[in-house]
Amino acid sequence: MRANRQKYKRKKRKIKCVLSILCVCAVCIIALFLPNHIISKNNQQIESPVETQEARIHEEINQIVVDDLYSSNAILISLDDNTILLDKSSDERIYPASLTKIMTAILAIENLPDLGEMIHLPEDMFQELYSKNASMAGFLPNEKVAAIDLIYGVLLPSGAESSIGLADAIAGSEENYVELMNKKAKKLGMNNTHFTNSTGLHDQDHYSTVNDIAKLLEYALQNNTFREVYTSKRYTTKATNFHPDGITFQSTMFKKMDTQDVNNGIIEGGKTGYTEEAKLCLASLAKIDGKEYILVTANADGNLQTEQFNILDAFTVYNQIFENNDY
């Protein structure tokens, strides 16, 4: 009797096991042939298991992680359709440091009819810049320099003497030039920006946002001369009264990079910025899968002697962009 009872129990367990397997198979088959959505009794759409998985995969593929960024502020924009792909406190006020010089350069290009014009750099401007430890391109007091060479001096080595030399030549003084800068900012919709100088040297009232700097860069890149200068790795100026062989400039961004390659593309150009208050900043341009993107980051810890966390952030972001045509 006991043997029969045990035999019956084993048979019952086998039947349960088979039924369980059949139920699992049935659920899988139903999931495969269900429409994309199941309608609940309350007429609400419920995602099918298959669609939920696809949506999750799609989100994971296209998501740009910002948690690992050193910069407290960042914005990534696709220039093809003006889509914002990353936004990290993009409207929060920052100090733009030398990202300011993007405005200095584009205004000079637009306001100088002859970029071959020779511009005199007066001696009195240099002493103040030396005392403030401003970044310099390498021109000397009383040097006469072609306007286009000063523009390269602004964007590549981030020269403060180049910025003020252009400002004086165009507007008569840096103060007058700053008025032009603020008018242009307003015209471009940079509503959270106010400039007090052409160099980006720290001032409490000299501020912007990464969103506003992105608007400025997007505008400036439409100018062929600006784009050519901005994307140059190095440049040698024409002969001057003090430099018969010219001066060779290197981009402050490219000289800190071992490679410009990112996944399926390259970093094409960039403008760095740093002051103690602004920390490390970068406004860069990349081409990935044939499309262009601009990324502006600000307020990354470090300085000019540490690892360049602004540049590391650019690689982190750009390496997350790639196209997936399956979805």
Which one, of 145, 169, 166, lies nearest residue 154 by Cα?
Answer: 166
3-state SS assignment for residue 106: helix
Exactly one of 98, 135, 162, 251 is catalytic; name it.
98
Task: Confirm whether 101 is a catalytic residue.
Answer: yes
Q: Are 221 and 259 contacting, i.e. CB atoms less than 8 angstroms apart?
A: no
Structure tokens at 228: 């050519």
Q: How far is CA 310 from CA 148, 187, 242, in A?
A: 28, 28, 35
What is the rounded CA–CA span in Å between residue 114 and residue 288? 35
Helix (H) or strand (E) holding 292: strand 291-300
Cα gap 183→178, rounded to integer Å: 9
Q: What is the torsion angle, in degrees rounded to the nearest 10, for the CA atoms of residue 22, residue 27, residue 28 and residue 34?
A: 140
Distance CA 173, CA 156 (A): 23
- Residues 140-166 as b or e (16 or more Cβ within 10 Å = b): beebebbbbbbbbbbbbbbbbbbbbbb
Q: Residue 58 has which token pair?
A: 């799609």
Catalytic residue, candidates 90, 158, 198, 284 = 158
* Beta-bridge mates of residue 71: 300
Q: What type of residue sits at position 137?
A: A
How far is CA 149 from each of CA 124, 135, 249, 252, 272, rounded to the nearest angstrom?
20, 16, 10, 16, 19
**Number of neighbouring beta carbons within 10 Å of residue 302:** 15
pLDDT at residue number 81: 95
Integer CA distances (angstroms), 298 to 52, 84, 99, 214, in order = 36, 17, 10, 12
Structure tokens belonging to residue 49: 């298991």
What's the confidence (pLDDT) of residue 322?
74
Q: How far apart are CA 137 and CA 28, in angstroms?
A: 68
| pLDDT at 67 (0 to 100) | 85
Q: How do the pLDDT tens digits run along the chain, 327 residues long?
A: 433 333 433 444 444 444 555 554 554 444 444 444 433 334 444 344 444 443 333 333 346 888 889 999 999 999 999 999 999 999 999 999 999 999 999 999 999 999 999 999 999 999 999 999 999 999 999 999 999 999 999 999 999 999 999 999 999 999 999 999 999 999 999 999 999 999 999 999 999 999 999 999 999 999 999 999 999 999 999 999 999 999 999 999 999 999 999 999 999 999 999 999 999 999 999 999 999 999 999 999 999 999 999 999 999 999 999 753 333
89, 90, 101, 163: which one is catalytic? 101
Tokens of residue 51, six digits: 């669609």
221-252 pLDDT, tens digit per residue, is 999 999 999 999 999 999 999 999 999 999 99
- The residue assigned the tokens 């307020």 is 299
Residue 183's CB is within 10 A of a number of other CB atoms, namely: 11
3-state secondary structure of 311: helix
Q: Which one, of 279, 232, 222, 223, lies nearest residue 253 by Cα?
A: 232
List the one residue out of 84, 61, 83, 77 whose CA is nearest residue 327.
61
What pLDDT shows up at residue 63? 64
Handedness of CA 146, 155, 142, 124 (dihedral sign): positive
pLDDT digits (tens, 9 = 90+) for 148-179: 999 999 999 999 999 999 999 999 999 999 99
CB under 8 Å to 195, separation ≥6 — which residues? Answer: 100, 103, 178, 181, 182, 185, 206
Helix (H) or strand (E) holding 120: strand 118-120
**Helix, strand, or coil here: 37?**
strand
